Structure 1
């Protein structure tokens, strides 16, 4: 039996019998059929490093705090994409079982303290049927801008558009028509390594208003990963240099047009690792191969998990980065919400 990434994360490397048992025990649950209010408990994470509790600076970032999120609702988890409102007070996440999470962010003394008014709801297809009941069930990436939400779908290599500002979680998906110039490239992405990161370029970007998506990884090794400019006058494909076994899991634009690229890695010997790279605003263009400066890389002492979602918002002079983890609906993993700010002099 071939090990998938999901099975590996929930206990891969064991005997085939154990793998089959894990798959049955930790199967991805179906999304709720209607909007469902849920309770979420939040254990504060006051320090990122368990061996240096007083440390706050990590690379170009300052750790602001975090939460270990739990819920008695079995559908809670699997969060792969993240968005926070411009004021940071609202949170939207998409889970990889075609499910929305919406919540109000609570803070205390400038630190995350909890999530209130939390709701789960199914992503709806064009005919009102839950998207999880269609072939577009594997939702992995999210961006919201100008009242429109875009969700990247793996396996079918599609992007869905939702009129979020008008309808919120009741919005129905409309498949985005992919440009002919990149369609074949996108359709040839590996089955479970598709459009893992998605974002809308801000006005100050050379790509202003364009939808940009990046695949999780190439088929093998550290070959460059494919990225795509899907809308706007500069439609085309580009490549993102890979290194050290990291896969791309999300992206977020800064107001300057620069891109933060969230990457993560897993191995039986090293566990989870996470890295952030910063890519210049003018680097992304058709046929380019882009790289970026590493601004943060985790080590084994850090309280992380399978970090898959990234959001950026501004608080006064602070550029705030928020990361969420995908627990793969496994009791062996955690749903973490971690918040950082760029150190002074590093902001856009």
Structure 2
């Protein structure tokens, strides 16, 4: 029998496709008794980051049916949080990047918003978030990107130092932000991409971005994965943008899973987070490992499944994944869920240790 939270999650996924979501309001209306604000004041109110409150409830066990179990495939559960906030724009989190210590984070909402802050720990367990700020993503003119029709479905996130890349699924474009120029107030520029990127299917386009750093094969390349853009053989389309070998390749699609995010480990393994939804079984989550060295223009790549979870576990619409290495040498994976701004779904922040 499904637990109550499991049933809510399933219903939430069913309802998500039919909901119409309001965009977050970044400025607050001025009382009628105050003087009318000048244009510069209005722009600052609309675009400035705002401090927000985020509440966290611990998830003591990843599998409620067996609370003693901590090992799930190649992952060992560390801790998890259910996140809520009175801030209207909080939710829809589709990507996350953490710093080398797993403390500071940058996340994005699929409604064109940035979220920054710190993860608070007690020992190895997450217990809350501190210093959280929200801000709208800005275009080249310094205006929220959501002012332009369809420029809001921001689903993917990659980082190369101060350069931050964001994929917009509805229009299949990539924007680049230089955070050395104001952090989340940096203005984005549209990155040139191969023509085939623009031909990805509506609402099943760019879903994951990974930047390859120095010292790795394909260093300097931005790897872009589609959620469900399929090639002639029904495999998932991906792109190598820039770097030494630009081009297109495919990821073997199995069991009707779609890509939701990816992260590159220092070992050279590319971990792909995938999900599958069915009206009969609900949502399934898995992680596959693909060697970076196997990726090249024209290649079809595949790799073993490291992790599986379904609605019998503490999952929701898991859309973001990142990794960091602890002082003890453990590789920790951080995952976050997109609640679709639905009262029937949850924003989850989960952490696992990758076990050899």
- Same-fold status (TM-score > 0.5): yes
CA distance, structure 2, for counterparts of residue 244 and residue 102 of structure 1: 35
**Matching of residues 17-28 of structure 1 within 5 Å:** 19=18, 23-24=19-20, 27-28=21-22
**Matching of residues 218-229 of structure 1 within 5 Å:** 218=229, 223-229=234-240
CA distance, structure 2, for counterparts of residue 36 and residue 281 of structure 1: 38
CA distance, structure 2, for counterparts of residue 87 and residue 328 of structure 1: 29
Alignment match, 1:337? 349
CA distance, structure 2, for counterparts of residue 303 and residue 152 of structure 1: 27
Q: 1:137-177 deviations in whole A, cap 9, x for unaligned? A: 21110011221100011121111000123421010001111
1:266 aligns with 2:270: no
Q: 1:327 aligns with which of 324, 334, 339?
A: 339
Alignment match, 1:29? 23
Contact 1:31 1:99 in 2 (8 A): no
CA distance, structure 2, for counterparts of residue 160 and residue 12 of structure 1: 26
Alignment match, 1:11? 15
Alignment match, 1:311? 322
Deviation at 1:122, TM superposition (A): 0.1
Find the structure with the greater CA-based Rg: 2
Shift in CA distance, 8/71, structure 1 to aligned 2, threshold 3 Å: closer
Contact 1:197 1:248 in 2 (8 A): yes
Gaps of 5+ in 2: 1-10, 27-45
Alignment match, 1:128? 142
CA distance, structure 1, for counterparts of residue 142 and residue 235 of structure 2: 38
What's the secondary structure of 1:215's corresponding residue?
strand
1:115 aligns with 2:129: yes
Deviation at 1:245, TM superposition (A): 1.8
Contact 1:213 1:229 in 2 (8 A): yes
TM-score (normalised: structure 1): 0.89
C-alpha RMSD of the superposition: 1.9
Contact 1:31 1:97 in 2 (8 A): no
CA distance, structure 1, for counterparts of residue 92 and residue 232 of structure 2: 26
CA distance, structure 1, for counterparts of residue 220 and residue 243 of structure 2: 7
What's the secondary structure of 1:165's corresponding residue?
coil
CA distance, structure 2, for counterparts of residue 83 and residue 270 of structure 1: 30
Shift in CA distance, 336/219, structure 1 to aligned 2, threshold 3 Å: same
Contact 1:31 1:121 in 2 (8 A): no
CA distance, structure 2, for counterparts of residue 257 and residue 167 of structure 1: 32
**Matching of residues 200-219 of structure 1 within 5 Å:** 200-218=211-229
CA distance, structure 2, for counterparts of residue 71 and residue 274 of structure 1: 25
Deviation at 1:73, TM superposition (A): 1.3
What's the secondary structure of 1:87's corresponding residue?
coil
Alignment match, 2:198? 187
Shift in CA distance, 166/157, structure 1 to aligned 2, threshold 3 Å: same
CA distance, structure 1, for counterparts of residue 337 and residue 116 of structure 2: 15
